[in-house]
Every structure is written in structure tokens, then in C-alpha cells.
Structure 1
Amino acid sequence: MVNTNRHLSATSLIGDDIRNPQGESLGDLKELMIDLGSGSISYAVVAFGGIMGLGEKLFAVPWQSLRVDHENKCLILNVPKEKLKDAPGFDKSDWPDFSDPTFSEQIGRYYRPG
């Protein structure tokens, strides 16, 4: 039987692993950022590195750069682990302005395929 349910609650995704297609762990999903104008998810906030939350770096990843892997209960981000290490990130106590067009352009360019 084909699963026709195309909706997930945010809480069912928060904490899920983020992996690349090679199966390498890229972190976990910390938060979803919703565009209040359109009502759609703009960014996934991904935590990478650190131990037990200490020293971890947060990244805003465009939502359209991820895909949900229902079978393995994780999200897939098609980037090498090394690229994420160098990605523009932020500290959990100093979040960026997600509505800043310069920020959006920088993040979009970084995760654009190709």
C-alpha cells in the first residue's frame, strides 16, 4: 500500500538525524524556521559538532535542500561532511536575522547544487 500521508508534525522531525547520501551524519535538526508571510518552512536549523550540546555549531539550511527519508527516519542533505564544516554558521546564543536578504542570498548560494 502506498503511503499518501504528506504531512508531518514539526515535533516528529525535531531531533532527527541529518545525513548525506553517503550515510555520514551531518548533525541533527534543532528547529524549523517558518516564513510568516507564506506560511512555508524556509530553513532547517541543523546542529553539528560538539559533545552533548557543548561546542556545537548551528547552521541554517534552506528547507528545499533537504529531503525526508521516511524509511530511515532521517533527513538527507546532499553535501559532503567537509562542506558543512566550512558552512556559514552561528552560535546558539546569537541567531541571525533570517529575514535579511543578504543572509538568505548567502545561505542559498552556499547550498545551491552544482
Structure 2
Amino acid sequence: MTHGNHDMVSSSDVNGTEVYSEAGEHVGTIDHLMIDKQSGKVAWAVMGFGGFLGLGEAHYPIPWTKLTYERSRGGFVTDISREQLEAAPSRPERWTEDRAWEEQAHLHYGAPFYWI
């Protein structure tokens, strides 16, 4: 939704938004966002990928900075490939508390660290 000169969106509107590759291939769907409590920045978009009708779907946190919203597609576009998703560093159970894993993941995707 647009307010004046700023593009704003509710987090609830982001959930369920489609994600496409730069070539237009459907990659996945945004399940939810992770927001850094200290800075207020959106740090991660957790994307559902694979499966059928939500069954067997894997969830991958991807750096928010790797997504660009394209109005013409009605969804986000990323340069992250399916192969990169599948080769992502193994996520520990408490991944949101593991800065070493976050660093690995950002380096894997070629994304800047959100905490700097």
C-alpha cells in the first residue's frame, strides 16, 4: 500500500507473497519475516519452497536485502537460485541466536550483514 511518497506494506501483506527468480521462475512464497529487535530492520524473509499444497515444504531464511518488490509481477524478485537455497548452510535449531550461522548464510547468498 502506498502512503504519500513512501511505499509501505504491512508484514501481514508480505506473508504469502510469491518470490520469483530474475528469469521469472517461481522460487517460493514468503512465509514470514524476522525483524531485528535492536535496529528495527527486517533481517530475514523466511521463504517456503517445494512441497505440494504446503505439505513437505521446506523453509529457508533468506536475507531481506536479496529481495526486490516488483509491482508488475505482484511479488518479490531475487537473484538467489534454487541450487543456492538447497546448498545453504545447515540451519541450527536456534538459528536466530547464532551469529556465526548468520554470517555464513549472508556470505553464502552474497548479502551485506543487516547488523552493521
Return the TM-score normalized by structure 2.
0.82
Q: Which runs of 4+ in 1 moved over 4 A?
A: none
Percent sequence identity over aligned pairs = 29
- 1:18 to 1:55, Cα distance in 2 relative to 1, 3 A: same
How many residue pairs end up in the alignment?
108
Cα distance in 1 for residues equivalent to 2:62 and 2:69? 14
Gaps of 5+ in 1: none
Q: Which residue number corresponds to residue 24 of structure 1?
A: 25
RMSD: 2.0
The one-character-per-residue Cα deviations of 1:83-109 (angstroms, maximum 9, x if unpaired) are 22333466xxx8543131112111101
The match for 2:114 is none
Structure 1 residue 99 corresponds to structure 2 residue 97: yes
Report SS of the residue matched to 1:98: helix
Give the TM-score taking structure 1 as reference length. Answer: 0.83
Which residue matches 1:87?
88
Counting only pairs closer than 5 Å after superposition, residues 21-100 of structure 1 correspond to structure 2 as: 21-88=22-89, 96-100=94-98
Unaligned 5+ segments in structure 2 are 112-116
